[in-house]
Structure 1
Amino acid sequence: MERSSVFDMIGPVMIGPSSSHTAGVVRIGRVGVKLLGGVPDEAEIIFYNSFAQTYEGHGSDRAIVAGLMDFDTDDARIKDAFDHAKDKLTYKFRSVGNASTKHPNTVFLRLKKGDKKIELEGESRGGGVIRISNFNGFASGFTANLHTLVVTTDDAQGSIAFISDIISHDDCNIATMTVSRKGKNDVACQIIEMDSGINDITLQYIRHIKWVHDVIYIPVI
């Protein structure tokens, strides 16, 4: 008896041509929208390394604009993202072809909505998988594959244990935690990936802690 086997690689449901150049880039843009708190008014977009050479031909420019419009990876509007962004989003592109310290498929976003401004750097790792390597100057390293809590605080003694304890009362299991700070006794950032979501009342409580500056919750993207 002849036996055959077929191996399929299952990636995201997406608009092509490439999961790394399109789907991953859309997801990075959508993370930017969640971190900013809405679709930006203005965006500066910098493509690095291989992205810098291919972003136009592979549609990464349309993909990042689509993500910043909060379109999902399978949204047919991605192909016409520039048209949909007219009168809603002002954007400009730059490219840096040789940045040896960065992942080959890296995009940096500087976003503005009203008076709020943020910066983030994302890596598209293939198959729609992403890694947000930096947020507002803080090392981050989250993937948006899990529920993510971003808490900016004073560098207060016991703050990490305190936030972790609050989350535990919501039965949220912490999968990863990244903590970085500008300097001793300066501003710090806790980025916590969780297996399940967090209650609104818990988020409100954390926001009212005196040493907490900002709280952002990102469900799975």
Structure 2
Amino acid sequence: MNIFDVIGPVMIGPSSSHTAGAVRLGNLALAILGEPVQEAVIGLHGSFAQTYRGHGTDLALVAGLQGWATDDARIPKAFEAVEQAGIKISFKIINLGDLAHPNSVNFSLIGISGNHCKVTGVSIGGGRVCITNIDDFPVDFNGEFPAILTMHHDRPGAISLVTSVLSTHGVNVAQMKVFRKQKGGLAAMIVETDQPVDDAEFKAIGNLPHIESVRRIQLG
């Protein structure tokens, strides 16, 4: 724990969970999509669904999807900004089940080039967040480090090929988590690194055997 866990983040809004955390969730969803948002359907669960207008959670999520920071003075004007930009935003109430965190949100995003992405995350307090699902794969990361997300076929050596590329280019792995639905099927891997993965490394990983897709996830 550090001093920011005690006093909370620098932010616009009344609640670190419902505003600062919501901005950060929007930031991460945008980073995972990998391009500006053209259309977003935002599903709100639990406490987010009950109080999102009063706490400015809707403004914060929309601000985050535009790449704004938690202390951006434009946050109260987030809807005006997306309207001017021609971005379509809609909200709906969802139920993720009794075991889901009460501050949960699901993004269904379409980017300007037509890329699609689904992201589920939770705001856990003090502006801290956790991404729990990407494109129907369970994951677990908080965006505090630069990261890459691979979708790869669950084959022997697939993971070591990725880490070998990073090692060859001097990129240190901070932590790594692998998720799969079944043995031998498609798997997801989050690799968090001490420094951003550059274009050459990113391309090399994308060209590896067994790699279906790779994304860079990095907040500005």
Could you state the TM-score of these two structures normalised by the residue count of structure 1? Answer: 0.89
SS for the counterpart of 2:36 is coil
Deviates more, 1:192-201 or 1:148-157: 192-201
Query: Match for residue 136 of structure 2?
Result: 137
SS at match of 1:14: coil
Is there any run of 5+ residues in structure 1 with no aligned partner, and where? 1-7
Worse-superposed segment, 208-217 or 61-70: 208-217
2:61 to 40, 64, 77: 64
Does 1:73 pair with 2:66? no
For 2:95 and 2:210, the matched residues in 1 are separated by: 41
1:167-186 to 2 correspondences below 5 Å: 167-186=166-185
Structure 1 distance, partners of 2:211, 2:66, is 29
Equivalent in the alignment of 1:214? 213
2: distance between equivalents of 1:13 and 1:97?
31
Please give the alpha-carbon distance, in whole angstroms, between the structure 2 residues aligned to 1:121 and 1:30. Answer: 13
Q: Provide the residue aligned with 2:23 in structure 1.
A: 26
Following superposition, the deviation at residue 169 of structure 1 comes to 2.5
Q: Which residue of 2 aligns with 1:4?
A: none
Distance 2:177 2:6 in 1: 30
Match of residue 41, structure 2, among 38, 44, 65: 44
Distance 1:18 1:96 in 2: 22
What letter matches 1:60 in structure 2? T
Provide the aligned C-alpha RMSD in A. Answer: 1.8
Structure 1: 4+ residue segments shifted above 4 A? none
Q: How many matched pairs?
A: 214
Please state how far the C-alpha of 1:107 moved relative to its aligned partner.
0.5
Local SS of the residue matching 1:9 = helix
Structure 2 residues without counterparts, runs of 5 or longer: none
Sequence identity of aligned pairs in percent?
Answer: 38
How far 1:177 sits from its partner (Å)? 1.6
- Alignment-derived partner of residue 119 in structure 1: 118
Which deviates further from its counterpart, 66-75 or 184-193? 184-193
SS state at 2:74 partner? helix
Larger radius of gyration: 1
Checking the alignment, whether the CA contact within 8 Å between 2:165 and 2:204 is kept in structure 1 is no
* TM-score (normalizing by structure 2): 0.90
